[in-house]
Amino acid sequence: MQKKQVYNPFLPLNTYIPDGEPHVFGDRLYLYGSHDREGGHTFCMEDYEVFSAPVHDLSDWRSEGVIYRASQDPMYSRYPYMYAPDCVQGNDGRYYLYYCMAGEYGVGGYRNPISVAVCDSPAGKFEYLGHVRNKDGSLMMRYVCFDPAVMNDEGTIRLYYGTQYGFEEEDDFLVSGHLEEEMDMYGRTREEILSYPDSINGPIGCVLEEDMLTIREEPKHIIPYRVKGTDFEEHPFFEASSMRKVGEKYFFVYSSWLNHELCYAVSDHPDRDFRFGGTIVSNGDVGIAGRKEEESLNMTGTTHGSIVEVNGQWYVFYHRLTHKSDYSRQACAEKISITPEGRISQVEITSCGLNEGPLRGEGAYPAVIACNLTNGRMPHGCNCIYAEEFPNVTNAGDERFIAGIEDETLIGYKYFALKSPSFLSVLARVETDENRVVYTGPTRIDVRSGGIAVKPAPGDGGGGDELLLHPRFDVYIAPAGAEDSLTLAGTETGMTSAGVADGLTSAGLKSSSTSVAEAFGVKMYKAAVIRIASNEGGAADGWESYSSDQLLPQGVYAVYLVYHGREKLQLKEISFSKMTYKTG
């Protein structure tokens, strides 16, 4: 019996759990995170729902149900949304959930204390316990209480939190209006902000008493706020604190100012002397092979997550963006390696994620497991929801698909292992006024967003009639990047990346030199074409299956679909099928 596969996003496709904090409690891996609404108009509109999987099978995720409701917090009437939780087992054996409350678009999230809930089980149901407080019983509001993270460090309960803006590093901070911006964001007076000898900004750490609420050791910066001239200058801390202990070293995972990457810093101490390590993952694959932000392979935006070890394998958990916004984010994960020296190399985002190896090149897959989706000008989000049209993962009722596929859109899947030559088919339809997903809620563009670049209409360079009458997907394949042979459901395929490349060449496939391949930055081979029926003349706009005109060869590789056509397209499913022969 074949083992069940798992792909990114690894939770049910109608589930949106961002800001993931993975923890092993007992024999299960639990994922604690925020809870977005599908197609929602702001962050974290749903109550906390936790998912877990047995440590011996990360394909078998189940919902533990709603473990805690926003209405249980006494601040709910004014701040109805719960943000970015973390969970820890206390020395008393109970489980403690730390989180913050905020309003629309995060407004007020920088002004509130850290809330705590408690339960006898990691799977809930949690009950409100109180707010983190000072020794005198007053609310602990030192620095900015945002995105709490917590760890039990061999009996010492450590709490981390904070956010960081660069205003105070500007020479004209006191006269430029930046001070007033901080006062407004943080709900603090001028005198209070200026009373900090370092800064109210930055990543903060402290120690809690056994009651899990009271501060034992006063909060302080774990990394200096001022980053100019330091190894953090290119990737300063922004938010999303998370701490893990690997051996005797402490790994601080955080979201940087770039707002699409999870970075890490390493120290021999839990509260000081951290040195910048690097980027672990970017939700636009920025940084992979030197890729720049403007070359992002997805819409980028807010990210938050952490790392965890399961059965000797380390993983990074992060989230991707859907619905042209930062408000419908889905949990993803990738395998990572940590060297004995404490180094983590940046990993690419994939479709196979938690799977034991590449996905099997057989049967059907939801199109929305694409790990790369770009028209060459994807925007950066950062607390945004766009009305403009560009390729995106979306839904109409219970159907989930990629919409807004326009000329020269690239859709990538990594990785598939084909045991034999196979045809690739797609379930697609032309996008029309009748089936187009129209968002009717409020839109929002943050000042930090990247915006959307203008692109010439398809066919302006010639070939307009050809694109109109004969829309198509060009199918490209690229060898897997790993030097070692990949694993297919626990069995070695025997195909290294070099072997795949040799096999593709011997099969008559030539490396592409098209602008698409060059822009993508990988060595791609054009393998086939999938021709799509045009909707010109009012043809039916229902889902139709279309197959490649050539077999994809045996091997392990990424599969890329590059669309060419004047009409926009929607894609629901991709599938692999072997050649069949008739007898008689």
Q: Determine the distance from the C-alpha atom of residue 36 to the mean position of all C-alpha atoms in its chain, rounded to a whole number.
A: 13
- Cβ neighbours, 10 Å, residue 224: 14
Strands (E) across 434-484 are located at 472-479
> Is the distance from CB of 305 to CB of 84 less than 8 angstroms?
no
Q: What is the DSSP string of 515-531?
A: HHHHHHTS--EEEEEEE
Pairing between β-strand 410-418 and β-strand 359-360 as defined by DSSP bridges: parallel
> Is the distance from CB of 76 to CB of 101 less than 8 angstroms?
yes
CA separation for the pair 544, 66 (Å, rounded): 38
> Is the distance from CB of 468 to CB of 566 less than 8 angstroms?
yes
The pair of three-digit structure tokens given for residue 56, joined into one six-digit string: 């011996």
> Is the distance from CB of 106 to CB of 383 less than 8 angstroms?
yes
Catalytic amino acids? 19, 239
Which of 519, 570, 513 minimizes the C-alpha distance to 370? 570
Longest dimension (CA), the chain: 90
Please give the angle made by the CA atoms of 305, 309 and 327, to the nearest 5 degrees: 15
Phi-psi region of 462 (alpha: psi -120 to 50; beta: other; left: phi over 0): left
Report the half-sphere exposure of 437 (CA within 13 A, side-chain side): 28
Residue type present at position 557: Y
Token pair 């007076």 is at which residue?
189
